[in-house]
Amino acid sequence: MSTNPAPDLVIADAVVNAPGPRRRQRTQTLEAMLFLSPWIIGFILFTAGPIIASLVLSFMKWDVISPAKWVGLANYKQLFNDPLLLKALANTVYYAALSIPLHIIVALGLALLLNQKVKAMPIFRTIFYLPSLTSGVATFLLWGNIFEPQAGLLNRFLRNFMENPPGWLMDPAWSKVALVIMGTWAVGSTMLIFLAGLQGIPGQLYEAASIDGARPWSQFRNVTLPMLSPTIFFNVIIATIGCLQVFAQAFVLTRGGPSNSTMFYVYYLFNRAFVYFDMGYASAMAWLLFAIVLVLTVIQMRMAKRWVHYG
């Protein structure tokens, strides 16, 4: 451990830094390799091949039917001269910047509510999870109905308060916001992970805090948030990776429109790959996104040192 460990791993190190240095360390490394072997073998067998293939393809021109041709850096050079790609990247960043905080806050709020001790909680938890279960293509249809500018449910409701409610999916200024709302609807998984995290906070901590006279808000600030920080960290990283790859809503509901306002990065990549059959360019796009997400994740892991507490 001569170099800097990733910050959030430091505490785990302290855990296992027991006496009996050399020999113990060697046994533990060996044990670790055994525990890791399923992933390592799976990575070599199932994951590495396709990843390497896509990397090689990013230096080629391939229409899926005729043989691939080596073109060197041409695809990557094209990336930086593609106005639609820039627009797609901007759309995606806009979507993620709205979606990630909203997603985390809503999921945490709902999980706190579901963590209360009242009767019939299993029923409420099941109902709260329903939107995530029904989030398939079937309900995209329903969302189309809800967001419909004239007769849609949402605008019929909003007309009670305002003259001209937004056109939602039909309006380039509001289409991304509509998709953010739709995405936030299905926070069930994030909510459930928060709930599992809340269950792991020892009750004594709250008892101790309330004996010290801590009000609910300060209990939340000083007990819940720090104890939940590993879970928050997880959900933020996963939401970042997921939101930057937003695809399904645009694919099913908006087809990238109106006027490319929901042309998200991966939807554009998908079009390049499977509509224009330009697999080489799509692969180069994928690796650019990969680099962006990787850098963001590593930054988040470094920052985690300051706010994530384990054990």
| Footprint (CB under 8 A) of other proteins, residues 66-105 | none
237 lies in the site for other proteins, by CB under 8 A: yes
| Tally of CA atoms within 13 A in the half-sphere of 168 that contains its CB | 23
Helix axes 225-243, 188-199, angle to 10 degrees: 160
Minimum CB–partner distance for residue 69 and other proteins (Å): 17
> Does residue number 262 form part of the binding site for other proteins (CB under 8 A)?
no
Positions in 94-153 near other proteins (CB under 8 A): 110, 113, 116, 118, 121-131, 133-134, 136-139, 141-142, 151
Q: Is residue 217 within the footprint of other proteins (CB under 8 A)? A: no
Q: Out of 11, 68, 177, 252, point to the residue binding other proteins (CB under 8 A).
A: 11
Encoded amino acid at 303, one letter: M
Determine, following the binding rule CB under 8 A, whether residue 252 of this chain makes contact with other proteins: no
Q: Which stretch binds other proteins (CB under 8 A): 74-82, 94-102, 172-180, 272-280?
A: 272-280
Here the tokens at position 12 are 């785990």
Binding range to other proteins, per CB under 8 A, among 76-84, 161-169, 185-193, 254-262: 185-193
Rounded Cα distance, 13 and 10, in Å: 5
Q: Which residues contact 278 (CB under 8 A, 6 or more apart)?
A: 61, 63, 272
Give the binding range for other proteins (CB under 8 A) out of 32-40, 72-80, 91-99, 173-181. 32-40
Report the DSSP beta bridge partners of residue 60.
70
- Residue whose C-alpha is closest to residue 180's, from 162, 194, 168: 168
Residue from 81, 150, 160, 204 in contact with other proteins (CB under 8 A) = 204
In the complex with other proteins, the residue whose CB is nearer, 47 or 259, is 47
Kindly give, in sequence order, each residue whose CB lies less than 8 Å from that of residue 78, ignoring residues fewer than 6 positions away.
281, 284
279 touches other proteins (CB under 8 A): yes
Q: CA nearest 284: which of 120, 79, 22, 40?
A: 79
Is 57 a binder of other proteins (CB under 8 A)?
yes
Query: Distances in Å between the alpha carbon of 216 and those of 115, 139, 210, 212, 219?
Result: 14, 38, 8, 12, 5
Please report how close the Cβ of residue 261 comes to other proteins at its closest, in angstroms.
21
Q: Of the listed pieces 77-85, 164-172, 192-200, 254-262, which binds other proteins according to CB under 8 A?
A: 192-200
Q: Which stretch binds other proteins (CB under 8 A): 74-82, 94-102, 160-168, 226-234?
A: 226-234
Choice between 49 and 172, CB closer to other proteins: 49
Q: Which two tokens stand for residue 199?
A: 């269950």
Residue 56, number of CB atoms within 10 A of its CB: 14
> In the bound complex, what is the minimum distance in angstroms from residue 142's beta carbon to other proteins?
6
